[in-house]
Structure 1
């Protein structure tokens, strides 16, 4: 064996030079882009919004995501570009202030705790053998690939209380079975994600319904106390939720085939590689799983899920309190059965938090990008540009299209409506448009953005739970989401003329 260090360095030099050259070109390229943003920022007079320039950070984010296939880096590129556009001299200060405001945001704190506790709970269920037992019992009764996919969709509908719960619990419980029938993790993520937000908007007993009902009251869409009634009236008009469900069941049933990048993912899975390349950690740690009888394992799986749902409903659809109650219940249940020691239970909870760190980071970065877009006035600019084309007939379709694009670009399916509702609701009232139809268009846009955006919370969590990256999931899912959005747009055109 040749151990000469000189020869080794010479052999490595040809490999290092192209790598350094690529890195240098990348640094120069991104530096030029940021310099361009700084120049555009210098053109801003300081009085009023940024107009067309407000769209550029979101466009850069999408372009970087497409080129690199990495979500976190793409979001930060958009954040830095937005700060450059505002004040290139104080980018570091602006980034620090933005980071502090996001970390101190109550919604972010809620998301961090919910995601972490859900990750810990699922890790306990994994290590206690409950998830394996649940999968074994399903495997005895489900004998086909089609049956596996349809069961995944059915479970997604049953877990309707919150898209976070859906994304993590269903994917964790179905991975073993989908691997058995050579279903790619990307398709599993699609099946799970398509029954997350699209289902949650259709059920009045969900975190989405509670949040938006209160938001509708605050913005004068209905009288105080009638927000939930208006929300329920709008459910038949939440076209994207219904159509996304139809599309996913057509896919699961084999009626609609693989589209776009999903073809490649499924071909790879048929060769036995269900887990896509580049996935460092496939979900949660399953080392040292306790073997229990399938029936006991099933009970140990269903009881915590029942407590989780029941406690969340009891605490007025608060998934954080539901997850806390379910975690305490599960720890006592498993300790009582000697499945895990107290130390192992605590370690499982902490390790579950660790698994969720990357998804949490992506969601937090998405909120930073949303704040930058708000500072640039992106949402009001888009709505103002739309206003001259508004009419009673076109209002629902245009509201859906524009708000779907905004939510897709920002990844904030809830936060963006705090800005947009005070503008959209008065428009609908001025045009005397059906308020349930308008709310249906808004919720459809929110569901599409949550479903399709590569850094939205449900997309990231569905990918994490299923065992693929958020970009792998988003890239394979986008053809189905766009198909659903196109049909939804046509549906709102028809409904607009029907209710005008």
Structure 2
């Protein structure tokens, strides 16, 4: 198994430990108390949802982290302002994967960089993997449209489809916290993760961040953050060493299923590549598909695969070895084709009831999965339609 795959899987597991430790420390409760009672930033349902939206945008380390933190912070405000949990789940889900796929200094970037590098090493295309990845971000139309549609829906309180009928369901929630812990128990580990991603990209790139190893950077970052929480939480007597150890193991176990999904996704991608599926479809496409429709077709195909499998990462592993040879054979824009894969993977993932981000966003918001899927679907379809039109337009202009 390649080193970057091992590091990506290690990151996916250890992120669970860090999230469990932050939750156990009481830092999230402290942050809620500060925003609500001290800074008095939150004064309405709109401002509460905007806070979760901003958290979703700022915390781009990993989509699961984004959903969990945005949901954990937003839940008490849902109780105070009677915000339907479905709305919070929609905000969590519609910011997590899109922002993680746009700011790719995370596991998403490591995965995509690895898949693109594989196409280069196999001689499918001659290019710089990092440059190609950066170029493809500008064509990630679904992620951009989803972020815009979500913001507009929150700002103007636009409810469409089943969201019109969603109601707040009373649950046990901590609204008033008599002795909250410091919010820095949450903020410092998160800020440290963001900071050390850049540090390790600089180190692994021999002084050039853009040439750094994404998989190594994120893996070493979570290890560093984990060690930091040990000294910080135990040293501050926030928790005992035994509690820290148990919480670390429990958090890692919680994300083992997601790590397993990633492992199988990598395997599927490798099998697809070995079978030459990409080259076969590329030969068919070059004869039967117009160059103007290439990006749109890749987007729709990626959406279908992602919806059916429930994993955007698995879709990337399947579709990038297909899309890149298709684009090369048809002399189309390779970065546009990769952007279509990324967009389609996220779009199908948002619509799928078996998606990990769908389930995590529902869990973090205390919303039923089916309720979340039904209420989010109209917004996702609007964003998907915008992305499809943009792929058609850009393909027409560029060719």
Q: Same fold (TM over 0.5)?
A: yes
Change (3 A) 1:235 1:303: same
Unmatched 5+ residue regions in structure 1?
A: 1-103, 276-281
Q: Post-superposition shift, 1:185?
A: 2.6
Equivalent residue runs for 1:272-287 within 5 Å: 273-275=169-171
Does the aligned pair in 1 maintain the 2:278–2:326 contact within 8 Å? no
Structure index of larger Rg: 1
Distance 1:371 1:428 in 2: 23
Distance 2:45 2:145 in 1: 23
Change (3 A) 1:382 1:197: farther
Change (3 A) 1:370 1:325: closer
- Residue in structure 1 matching 2:179, options 269, 291, 316: 291
2:381 equivalent to 1:482? yes
Change (3 A) 1:403 1:471: same
2:61 equivalent to 1:158? no
Does the aligned pair in 2 maintain the 1:250–1:256 contact within 8 Å? yes
Equivalent residue runs for 1:172-191 within 5 Å: 172-191=72-91
Q: Give the match for residue 194 of structure 1.
A: 94
Equivalent residue runs for 1:18-417 within 5 Å: 114=11, 116-139=13-36, 140-220=40-120, 222-223=125-126, 226-260=128-162, 262-265=163-166, 267=167, 269=168, 273-275=169-171, 291-292=179-180, 297-316=182-201, 317-318=214-215, 319-353=218-252, 356=254, 360-361=256-257, 364=260, 387=285, 389-417=288-316
Q: Give the match for residue 493 of structure 1.
A: 392
Does the aligned pair in 2 maintain the 1:162–1:196 contact within 8 Å? yes
Change (3 A) 1:204 1:418: closer
Q: Post-superposition shift, 1:374?
A: 9.8
Q: Give the match for residue 331 of structure 2.
A: 432
- After the TM superposition, which of the residue ranges 237-246 and 458-467 deviates more from structure 2? 458-467
2:349 equivalent to 1:450? yes
Counterpart of 1:481 in 2: which secondary structure? Answer: helix
Q: Post-superposition shift, 1:353?
A: 4.4
Deviations, residues 382-438 of structure 1 (Å, cap 9, x unaligned): 958983641111111111111111122122323333343333222212222222222
Taking only aligned residues, the RMSD between alpha carbons, in angstroms, comes to 3.5
Change (3 A) 1:422 1:350: closer
Q: Post-superposition shift, 1:362?
A: 7.0
Change (3 A) 1:340 1:209: closer
Distance 1:382 1:471 in 2: 38
Q: Give the match for residue 209 of structure 2.
A: none
Change (3 A) 1:313 1:207: farther
Deviations, residues 191-234 of structure 1 (Å, cap 9, x unaligned): 1111112112222433323332332232146535x111122222
Does the aligned pair in 2 maintain the 1:116–1:353 contact within 8 Å? yes
Distance 2:25 2:114 in 1: 39
Distance 1:367 1:299 in 2: 34
Counterpart of 1:237 in 2: which secondary structure? Answer: coil
Does the aligned pair in 1 maintain the 2:101–2:108 contact within 8 Å? yes
Does the aligned pair in 2 maintain the 1:163–1:197 contact within 8 Å? yes
Q: Post-superposition shift, 1:476?
A: 2.6
